[in-house]
Amino acid sequence: MKHSLIVGLTLALAGALFAAKPAQAEVSCTRGGLQQAVNLYIAAQTKGDLSGLPLAAGVGYWENIAPADIKTGIVTKPMKIDFHRSVFDTDTCQSYTEVIVTDKAAPYVLGTRLRVNHDKISEVESLWTTTGYWLFNADAYLKYSSAEKWEPIAAERRDSRGTLVAAANAYLDAFLEKKIDLVPWGFPCVRIEGGAYTGKGTPSDSCEVGVPGGVNITNRRFVVDEVMGTVMVFCTFGAGGPNGGSGAPDMHLFRVENGKLRYVHTLTHLLQAAFKGTNSGSAR
């Protein structure tokens, strides 16, 4: 009898402890599942350790729009992350995360895309910038990005996926023929570019400033989040220009409110010293 009572109490205690343990979210194509994938990525990037990532067999890995070896990639470099922001595309099972590191010894701003296949991460892609790259300033990026309000948009006011993609394309298209009148400019709208900032804190702040002409932006791939009113584009900036060359790996993240541009964030994997353009303005 005494033995049975002890066994019963032990089993009850074990059951209570098991029930009290919070269930860990699973990686999946839901918003929660994509958030879990990002959580695991942030933990891996912080430690520089891939062991906690549920990577699919044959996972695809790219850095700066080129295939690379994930075992030696930037994701294996430990980083003290000061700020990160993510958006989720449940239609294509993708996430995008902006990562800012202000460590004086090794500052970075990264943009990382994940794709989930069932319960595994099947693709990891990072575009990174650091000291010496186009307009790079991690401290400024942190200051301005962290102060912005990126909140979920009420369901009745959300723009469609098509509207978000069209807004991004109109902005990027403007760099070729400078048809800026076709871009859905919002006011105020501010742009963070590498760390440079166009805002002055006025209602008339515009993202139109510094848009050059004659620049072809190609190879566009999208991560779209209607809930957050965002669209991220990995692309190639300046491909096929008059001086040749394949262009620079580039990322543009847009926040769209009521069909109009509100925030634009850009990163370009281009050494400042390698820039040979003549029409720089603020945007390049």
> What pLDDT digit, counting tens, does each position of 251-266 carry?
999 999 999 999 999 9
Q: Are residues 173 and 113 in the same domain?
A: no
Q: What is the pLDDT of residue 19?
A: 45
Q: What is the pLDDT of residue 13?
A: 47
Q: What is the pLDDT of residue 69?
A: 98
Q: Are residues 124 and 168 in the same domain?
A: no
Q: Are residues 202 and 115 in the same domain?
A: no
Q: Are residues 230 and 264 in the same domain?
A: yes
Which domain-ending residue is among 119, 147, 175? 147
Q: Are residues 268 and 159 in the same domain?
A: yes
Q: Are residues 218 and 267 in the same domain?
A: yes
Question: Across the chain, what does the average pLDDT equal?
Answer: 90
Q: What is the pLDDT of residue 274?
A: 83
Q: pLDDT tier at 20 (50, 70, 90 boundaries)? A: very low
**Domain with 236 in it: what CATH number?**
3.10.450.50
User: Number of structural domains, the chain?
Assistant: 2
Which domain-ending residue is among 92, 118, 147? 147
| pTM exceeding the 0.85 threshold for the entire prediction | yes
Q: Are residues 94 and 124 in the same domain?
A: yes
> What pLDDT digit, counting tens, does each position of 207-224 carry?
998 888 889 999 999 999
**Nearest alpha carbon to residue 235 among 190, 176, 157:** 176
Which domain-ending residue is among 147, 170, 191? 147
Examine the pLDDT at 17 and tell me if it is beyond 70: no
Q: What is the pLDDT of residue 24?
A: 55
Read off the pLDDT of each residue in 19-28 and give the average, rounded to a whole number.
63
Domain that holds residue 166: 155-272
Q: What is the pLDDT of residue 278?
A: 43
> What pLDDT digit, counting tens, does each position of 101-139 carry?
999 999 999 999 999 999 999 999 999 999 999 999 999
Percent pLDDT > 70 in the chain is 87
Q: What is the pLDDT of residue 18?
A: 43
> What pLDDT digit, counting tens, does each position of 175-190 carry?
999 999 999 999 999 9
Examine the pLDDT at 9 and tell me if it is beyond 70: no
Read off the pLDDT of each residue in 21-27 and give the average, rounded to a whole number.
63
Q: Are residues 141 and 191 in the same domain?
A: no
Q: Are residues 143 and 178 in the same domain?
A: no
Q: Are residues 143 and 166 in the same domain?
A: no
Q: Are residues 167 and 127 in the same domain?
A: no
